[in-house]
Amino acid sequence: MAAANIAARSLVIQRAASEHIALLQELYVEAARWRAARGIRLWDEHAFTDAYMKRFMQEREVFIALAGGDGIGCFAIQWSDTAIWRELDNEESSYLHRLVVSRKYSGMRLGYRLLERAEEYVKSEGKRFFRLDCMAENKGLNQYYTKAGFAFVRTATGEGWSANLYEKKARINTQHYFNLGAS
C-alpha cells in the first residue's frame, strides 16, 4: 500500500494516445473481471480489442491517469450522447463514460480525483453541465456518483437495460493535476 500511496501522490492525468492502448486495455479488462466476479455484467472483458480501443479513442476524448509509468485509472468524455440522454442531449453538456481506477489503487479516492479533473476539463471547454449514466441496478455506483455531487435527473430505459442519468453544474477546482496535452 505504501507504493500505491507514493504513486497516487505523483499522479498525472493526460490525454491518452495510441501508446497507452495496452494500459487502457489492462484497466478495462481488470474492471470487467472485477465486476463480473460480483455479478455485475456490464462490460465483456473480451470486447477491449485493439480495433475497439482505436475506435473508442477516435470517438471520444480519452484520458489516462499515470503514476510512475503505471496506468492507474482512466475515463472518457463525449460531447454528445443522444443514445442515452435522447431529447435532453444538448451542446451545453458533456458526458463521462468508462471511469475506471485500478483495483490496486482502490480506496484512495482516486475516482473522485479523476471526476474532478474531468469536470475541470469540460468546464474549460465551455460546457455548463457534466453528465453521466449509471446502470440503475448498481446501487453502490449510484451512491458513489451522488456522493460526488451528481444529481439524479431521470431513468432511461432500453431493451434489456435501465440507466440512471446524473448531472452537475461544471465547476473548476483550483488544484491542478491535469496535463491537457496529447502526449
What's the predicted TM-score (pTM) here? 0.86
pLDDT at 20: 96
Cell readout for 69 is 509509468
For residues 41-79, one letter each, b for 16 or more C-beta atoms within 10 angstroms of the residue's C-beta and e for the rest, the string is eebeeeebeeeebeebbeebbbbbbbbeebbbbbbbbbe
Residue 79 has pLDDT above 80, yes or no: yes
* Residue of 145, 143, 139, 136 lying closest to 38 (CA atoms): 139
Grid cell 455531487 is found at 149
Q: For residue 122, is pLDDT > 90?
A: yes
- At 8 the pLDDT is 53
The CATH number given to 2-169 is: 3.40.630.30
Q: Please write the tens of the pLDDT for every residue from 125-156.
A: 999 999 999 999 999 999 999 999 999 999 99
Unique residue bearing C-alpha cell 499522479: 11
pLDDT number for residue 75: 98
Containing 6, the helix (H) or strand (E) segment is helix 2-9
Percent over 70 (pLDDT), the chain: 89
Task: Quote the pLDDT of residue 177.
Answer: 45
41 pLDDT band (50/70/90 cuts)? confident
Per the model's pLDDT, the better-predicted residue between 44 and 131 turns out to be 131
